[in-house]
Structure 1
Amino acid sequence: MSESLIRTRPTVAVFGATGHTGRFVVAELLRRGFRAIAIARSAEALAAARFPEPDVLCRCATVEDEGSLLRALNGAQAVINCAGPFLDTADALAAAAVKSGMHYVDISAEQASVSRTLETFDEPARQAGLVLIPGMGFYGGFADLLVTAALGDWTSADAIDVMIGLDSWHPTRGTRVTGERNKAPRMVVAEGRLRPLALPSAQKHWDFGEALGRQLVSEMPFSEIVLISRHVKTSELHTHLSAVALSEVRDKGTPAPQAADATGRSTQRFVVEVVARREGASRRAVARGQDIYAFSAPLVCEVVKRILRQEFNRAGANAPGMVLNAEAVLAALQPDHLALEIAAA
């Protein structure tokens, strides 16, 4: 492809591009026909990543140096932040994005970071006509889209459960670093209000169907609680995660994920089931897929594509279900990345 044609393609910056998920995101952007700007702290890491030029521009920047961020973002229409802990990166990068006049999306599972982004940047982004969506990864925005799609024409629910089933969880280095950094109390919605998770975490068994079977799950809320509660009225909102996954991610001896196919995906399987109940009726959505880290790439890239096409109904800092057509986003991920069922039960 000629240099002139490459320059006319939409450009998306990826901060933390050399990390495990960041590499999936860069590859997915290229697969979709975008030009990418790969941003990392280290020139050595960028060189080792061997991103294809000129489709990918490689630039160095740090969150401590606003000037470096602004220079690195130059020429992009949106930025995807893949560099956790997001408590340390989101503020600086979201501020640089707004100052540069571009949309911002991150994949944070951290409740405190997502809350801060929503509160701090909603008004500046609305005034600039920009969209900021924090938490748009497997943990967070994915469940928000599933809940929004499952609710349909319901504007509220008595209770919503998010059940996350994994057959394993081999954490990346970024996941481990984020876990050590993120010591904020985890929040749930109980009796209609955001409240700290009661400890010890509640446990129960859940049948995830043929894919994963019956599993012991523990209550473990991520950033989806903050996002869903932003626009869905409910008295109870809780997330449970497979106990086997929690055990593995907490074990320092569990190895990092290993590629099992040509795309780099691991063999990890997931099932996410959301159940909303109101006045004796229930609605649910069930999604099945492979590799939570790899899956975050097509998910976040699909959202960015729709933002750049102006397929949103409100500027500002938002949960994805507030501003995007949730069913359309999820449908676009089928069948290559997702198997999905939405039904009234």
Structure 2
Amino acid sequence: MNIAVYGATGHTGRLATAELRARGAEVILAGRDEGKLKAMADELGGARVRQAALDDPAALRKLAAEADVLIHCAGPFTHTGRPVAQAAADGGCHYVDHALEQHHTAWMYAEMDARAQSAGITMVTAMSFYGGLGDLLAGAVAAGMSEVDRVTVAYAVSDWMLTTGAKGTAELLFADTRRITYTDGAFHVGDVEPRNAVYPFPPPLGPRSMIAPLPSSDVVTIPRHVTARRVEAQLTADTFSDERAFTNEHVDAATRAGSHFTVAVQVVTADGNRAGQASGRDLWKESAVASVEAAVRLADGRGPDRPGVYGPAQAFAAAPFLRDLERLGLLTLTLPEPPAPS
């Protein structure tokens, strides 16, 4: 497998690279800073390096033409998403990104699906912790359910230290006045007044005060595989009240790995509800390894039957994918029993 990691010298890129090499993949270190890429290659004892600036489409296409799969780790995707995704389609390689930005994900569906089909490739967007894990959980919990009234994804995160890229992404998200929401069975775009909510996490967390709605990509992806009237994501209010989140962007990798998370999903119908959750430590590693799992499946031909653009739970069977992440020690799952065959 030849798998390119764009943004390889960043925190998530390094985690993805380490996981790929542990699995015996040939990794191409790619990004904008050739000096940092070469230094990383030396640290690893040798690796292919490809410098490709975002404003150099020829270099990006050349990179994509070399790879079986390209994992895009360099956010904010509001700025970096389009040129790298377009290059993947032009170069004919599968693509996985870590975007949690709603508008990038919506753009991928609207603008890149036809191009991906024409190129015969699969593009998986929003394979991140925020957005991606919620999407997979919603797919697993809602499997076999119909006439869903509401899907709520609740993120409880503590001790989260943002990287420079993640800090930039967070600032863009919370300043966005054109948020995408999904209510009454349809997408809406516009200013949304945040509100306080309470989500009933099971013990030991218990009910928590939440920021709602969270402008994450799962609100864009979930309605494409779960028929629901309303989809909303929420985040624990105290996640950003910890000033370290925004001030410790240069901490070492071991400190950054100290985050703890629980992601819960509740699916409500007229007849009742079903719920599931995933808990773990180090959301950065969960995100990186999930993207590697996706990339390896695509390289092995274990992706969707039809080329195009997909969210995580559209591209892969959600419950088995999550169980694989659990087997790797990334999280602990609580999922409802699958519905009995009719």
TM-score of the two chains, using structure 2 as the length reference: 0.90
Match of residue 188 from structure 1: 181
Distance 1:156 1:80, change over 3 A: farther
Letter in 1 for 2:232: H
Matched residue of 1:343: which SS?
A: coil
Say whether the 8 Å CA contact 1:257–1:266 is kept in structure 2. Answer: no
Matched residue of 1:39: which SS?
A: strand
Say whether the 8 Å CA contact 1:14–1:80 is kept in structure 2. Answer: yes
Say whether the 8 Å CA contact 1:265–1:290 is kept in structure 2. Answer: no
Residue 238 in structure 1 maps to residue 232 in structure 2: yes
Residue 66 in structure 1 maps to residue 57 in structure 2: yes
Match of residue 203 from structure 1: 196
Q: CA deviation at 1:22?
A: 0.9
Say whether the 8 Å CA contact 2:161–2:244 is kept in structure 1. Answer: no
Residue 296 in structure 1 maps to residue 287 in structure 2: yes
Which one of 99, 111, 114 corresponds to residue 120 of structure 1?
111
**Stretches of structure 2 lacking an aligned partner (at least 5 in a row):** none
Mean Cα displacement is larger for which, 271-280 or 181-190? 181-190
Mean Cα displacement is larger for which, 203-212 or 331-340? 203-212
Match of residue 225 from structure 1: 219
Query: Could you give the per-residue CA deviations for residues 9-54 of structure 1, whole angstroms, max 9, x where no partner exists?
Result: x010010111111111111111222111111211221234344244
Question: Matched residues in 1 for 2:97 and 2:201: separation?
Answer: 28
Match of residue 321 from structure 2: 329
Letter in 1 for 2:143: G
Distance 1:58 1:126, change over 3 A: same
Say whether the 8 Å CA contact 2:133–2:263 is kept in structure 1. Answer: no
Query: Could you give the per-residue CA deviations for residues 100-131 of structure 1, whole angstroms, max 9, x where no partner exists?
Result: 11101100010011111111110111122210
Percent identity between matched residues is 30
Distance 1:268 1:34, change over 3 A: same
Match of residue 247 from structure 2: 253
Distance 1:181 1:279, change over 3 A: closer
Letter in 1 for 2:234: H
The number of equivalent residue pairs is: 332
Letter in 2 for 1:45: K
Match of residue 18 from structure 2: 27
Which one of 159, 170, 175 corresponds to residue 161 of structure 2?
170
Which one of 135, 139, 150 corresponds to residue 144 of structure 1?
135
TM-score of the two chains, using structure 1 as the length reference: 0.89
Q: CA deviation at 1:134?
A: 1.2
Question: Matched residues in 2 for 1:344 and 1:20: separation?
Answer: 36
Which one of 152, 168, 175 corresponds to residue 161 of structure 1?
152
Match of residue 315 from structure 1: 307
Q: CA deviation at 1:215?
A: 2.4
Question: Matched residues in 1 for 2:180 and 2:314: separation?
Answer: 20
- After TM superposition, where is structure 1 displaced by more than 6 Å over at least 4 residues in a row? none
Distance 1:156 1:33, change over 3 A: farther
Mean Cα displacement is larger for which, 305-314 or 169-178? 305-314
- CA RMSD between the two structures: 2.2
